[in-house]
Amino acid sequence: MGTVALNFLIALVWGAAGFWLRQNTKLSVVEVSALLALTAGLVLPPLFTEGALFALTCTAVSYAAMCSGERCCSYKDMLTISGVCSLVIYFGQSVLTGIGGRLGTSAAISVLLCLLVRNVLNLDKAQKAAKS
């Protein structure tokens, strides 16, 4: 259970870093993703027994951080997407195989799930407001 928690925490840090870099630097979203993925790949495997998994998760989170500002417009959105992405990577290890395809698919699934939940919640609020 410690691995999933640490994976989740590291994903949150990486997601927040990606969002901050998008907002506060002149780097493109692709450059931000490349910087995050490279850093994760170089730093995490030597530091942790499960460092390779953490690096994969951070790379997927960096892909998710490339989503448009309209879909991910706050730290809360990015942290939610990062947390979901860490869980998709961890629990989907045996289902989603490969490297690039798995990470991109995991990032896309995470963003889509968060958007779906957000839209459903906003729909519920709109319906309640209309009834009032």
* pTM of the full structure: 0.80
Contact assessment for residue 61 and residue 15, using Cβ atoms and an 8 Å cutoff = yes
Question: What H or E segment, with its residue span, contains residue 60?
Answer: helix 51-64
Find all residues with CB under 8 Å of 44, minimum gap 6, and list them: 10, 51, 52, 54, 55, 58
pLDDT at 89: 86
Q: Report the domain count for the chain.
A: 1
Q: Is 40 helix (H, G, I), strand (E, B) or coil?
A: helix
pLDDT at 123: 59
Domain housing 100: 2-131
pLDDT at 36: 95
- The per-residue pLDDT string of the chain (132 residues; one tens digit each, 9 = 90 and over) reads 689 999 999 999 999 999 999 999 999 999 999 999 999 999 999 999 999 999 999 998 998 888 877 777 788 889 999 999 999 888 887 776 665 576 777 777 888 888 888 888 785 565 556 666
